[in-house]
A and B are shown apart, each in its own frame.
Chain A
Amino acid sequence: ETGVTQSPTHLIKTRGQQVTLRCSSQSGHNTVSWYQQALGQGPQFIFQYYREEENGRGNFPPRFSGLQFPNYSSELNVNALELDDSALYLCASSSGSGTGNEQFFGPGTRLTVL
């Protein structure tokens, strides 16, 4: 078990709605990355936050946005939900934004969009 927690565990929304997912990073970590994992696929990088600033972004539209708070916890917001947004959303924390820093993953939030 890592010290990374995510809430909620499961969520069901309908198309067009908005959703906020939350992540508490491991103690001492200042970097949080978010990933989307569709069923049967590997995780896809959404974005990374380092010291409250977005530090890098994958190929996701602007309706995917995030925040990092002074305590380094983070939120992922998705607007105008689409059916294809149904996935497991994972956050990972690390102690730096450079390469080679081990990432510690939370258990994920499973989002279903109907």
Chain B
Amino acid sequence: SQQGEEDPQALSIQEGENATMNCSYKTSINNLQWYRQNSGRGLVHLILIRSNEREKHSGRLRVTLDTSKKSSSLLITASRAADTASYFCATEGGGFKTIFGAGTRLFVKA
């Protein structure tokens, strides 16, 4: 079973708009990571946020974490057609497992 659940499952926006994806999880975590996957290929690590952090930025990406609600969000600002991909959140708790959600499929129209 997968811990992270992304919302929405799919998102279609125009180039230049912002895209927001949400992730909820069930148990306590040490950190939460966001990954991007293009067309069923390997995953690319985007950003890691630790359980004692609330917000993190990397370029056009902004991630928030609310451990009281067991949720995180990924905001991509000024989206580009090249941002079209699947986005996954992944949590690490105890042990050495990384648990992925089912992903949000983002389509950015040029």
Interface of A is mostly: loop
Q: Cβ of B88: which chain A residues have Cβ within 8 Å of it?
A: 42-43
Answer whether A43 and B43 are a contact pair too, CB < 8 Å, given A33-B98, A103-B98. yes
Q: Are B102 and A102 in contact (CB under 8 A)?
A: no
Q: Cβ of A110: which chain B residues have Cβ within 8 Å of it?
A: 40
Interface size class of A (residues with CB under 8 A): 20 to 34
- B44-52, B56-64, B69-77: which one contacts chain A? B44-52
Q: Cβ of A105: which chain B residues have Cβ within 8 Å of it?
A: 35, 42-45
Q: Cβ of A103: which chain B residues have Cβ within 8 Å of it?
A: 45, 98
Contact with B along A59-75 (1 / 0, CB 8 A): 10000000000000000
Q: Cβ of B4: which chain A residues have Cβ within 8 Å of it?
A: 42
The complex places the Cα of A57 from the Cα of B67 at a distance, in Å, of: 26
Q: Cβ of A56: which chain B residues have Cβ within 8 Å of it?
A: 95-97
Which of A42, A45, A48, A90 meets B103, CB within 8 Å?
A42
Q: Cβ of B95: which chain A residues have Cβ within 8 Å of it?
A: 56
Q: Are A42 and B2 in contact (CB under 8 A)?
A: yes
Q: Are B96 and A4 in contact (CB under 8 A)?
A: no
Q: Known contacts A48-B96, A59-B1, A108-B40; can you find 6 more A-B pairs with CB under 8 A?
A: A42-B101, A43-B100, A92-B43, A99-B93, A100-B50, A108-B42
Residues in chain B within 8 A of chain A (CB atoms): 1-2, 4, 30-31, 35, 40-45, 48, 50, 88, 90, 92-93, 95-103
Residues in chain A within 8 A of chain B (CB atoms): 2, 4, 33, 35, 37, 39-45, 48, 50, 55-56, 58-59, 88, 90, 92, 97-100, 102-108, 110
